[in-house]
Structure formats: C-alpha cells, structure tokens
Amino acid sequence: MHPLKDKVAIITGASSGIGHATARLFAELGAKVVVSARREAELADLVATIKASGGEAIAVAGDVRDEETAAALAHTATDRFGCLDIAFNNAGAIPEMGSTPNISAAGWRDTLDINLTGAFLGAKHQIPAMLARGGGSIIFTSTFVGHTVGFPGMAAYASAKAGLVGLTQVIAAEFGSHKVRANALICGGVDTPMGRMVADTPEALAFVSGLYALKRIAQPEEIANAAAFLASDASSFMTGTATLVDGGVSINRT
C-alpha cells in the first residue's frame, strides 16, 4: 500500500531524529521527498539510503532561519518533481535552557527564530506552491511543553512551539477553502539527539519516562507515523488541529 504515491513532500530537520525517520517513511509510502537540514553529509547519506530502496529524494542543505532556504525548498519541489503536496516543518532546536530570568535575550531570539520563525518562513513559500497544485497538507512539529504542561527551564522553547499552534490555526482558516490543510503534532519526548539533551543521564531518562502513561518516551518512527497520517488523504477532514502524540504525558498523574 502506498498512500503517498506520487505525492511530493518537503521535510525539514531531516538529518536526524524525527525528520530522518519521516523522510524514509514518506519515501517508502511512495512520496518524492525534498529533505533539508544544515548538515550536508548526513543529508547525502539519507538521500543515498532512500534511493537505494527505490525511492526518489533530493537534498537542499540550509538553515530554516534563512528565507532563501525556504524559497529554495519550494522551488526545488516544483522544479524537480512538478508540484508540492506535503510540507513537514519539523526542524527545531533548544539553543538555551534555564529559568526564565536567566535566559539571555539572544538565546530567546535564537530559539524563536529556529522553532517558530523558521516554520513560518517555510509555510510562507509552501502555501503558494500548494495553491498552484490545488491543495496540500502542512504539518508542524510542536510539543506538549507549553501546550499542556509548563516544563521548568524551557520558557523560550515552550513559547516558540506554542506559537506554532496559533500559526497552524490561522493557516487552516485562511486556506481551508483552497484545500490546503494545516495541523500540528503535539509530541511528547522522543529518543533523538535533541531529546537526550533534556534527559541526559539514565536517572533523568527514568524520571522523564515515568511522567508518561506509557512509561516511556517515543521512538522517532512513531512520530513519523503520525506525520504520515496527517500527510495522507486518511486525514482529509482534519485541519487546524493540535494533535497529541505524547504517550499520555499530558493526562497522566500516576
């Protein structure tokens, strides 16, 4: 079964973690993928892996904070593959953590630039390409931090990721009549390099895992599966949502 057959997808933050797993899954499901991140070598390896499995992929290295990168991704999708159907604005980082009074203004701006402004710039260029196509699905990677839980030390990250929910809702309202859907994944902790920054010792991981109803954090492939659902026609009546994929951390009190 190939639910994304002949679809064209952009995936940012694809050099590792959720983006890497999603790029491989989308390709397996039939999509032609345009992958992006700052690390060129890792992107080249990803493209080679996808092609070796019979998929189609091209890499565009760049920083999501630069609008030129967003424009290049949309242009590459339409120039090389003819259209744009799906965009997974997944790139994110936690440049600075600490109690709110101790976060520097530079660290605050950096966090918002990467996690929120980068996603906005992506969508800014993706939407016109989708309108020309006659519709599409835009997906943002958000988090329960700042949405259902206030997690100490993460004011900048929580604010940026919560902002994605507002961006999702506005895009959904603006372009729903043009068959462009927008949804946000509200993720729990994921076993990725960035996730290990928060749970960086066995004791910290055990504590964090205990917060979840499932008593574990996610694997990147589990978030990729949720992204594939939102990318596909199976979610055709879903737009403007903040969809929990959080292992029950938002509701758990045990």
189 CB contacts (<8 Å, ≥6 apart)?
195, 198, 199, 208, 209, 212, 217, 218, 247, 249
Taking phi over 0 as left and psi of -120 to 50 as alpha, with beta for the rest, 92 belongs to: beta
Please report, for residues 34, 98, 131, 207, the alpha-carbon distance to residue 66 in angstroms, rounded to integers and kept in the order given: 17, 26, 23, 37
d(C-alpha 213, C-alpha 22), whole Å: 24
**Catalytic residue flag (residue 212):** no
**C-alpha dihedral over 13, 17, 23, 28, to 10 degrees?**
180
125 CB contacts (<8 Å, ≥6 apart)?
67, 70, 71, 73, 74
d(C-alpha 63, C-alpha 113), whole Å: 10
d(C-alpha 130, C-alpha 9), whole Å: 11
- 234: exposed, middle or buried (Cβ count in 10 Å: 0-12, 13-18, 19+): exposed
**Which of these is catalytic: 81, 88, 108, 157?**
157
Residue 25 C-alpha from the chain's centroid: 14
d(C-alpha 196, C-alpha 193), whole Å: 5
Q: Which residues carry out catalysis?
A: 157
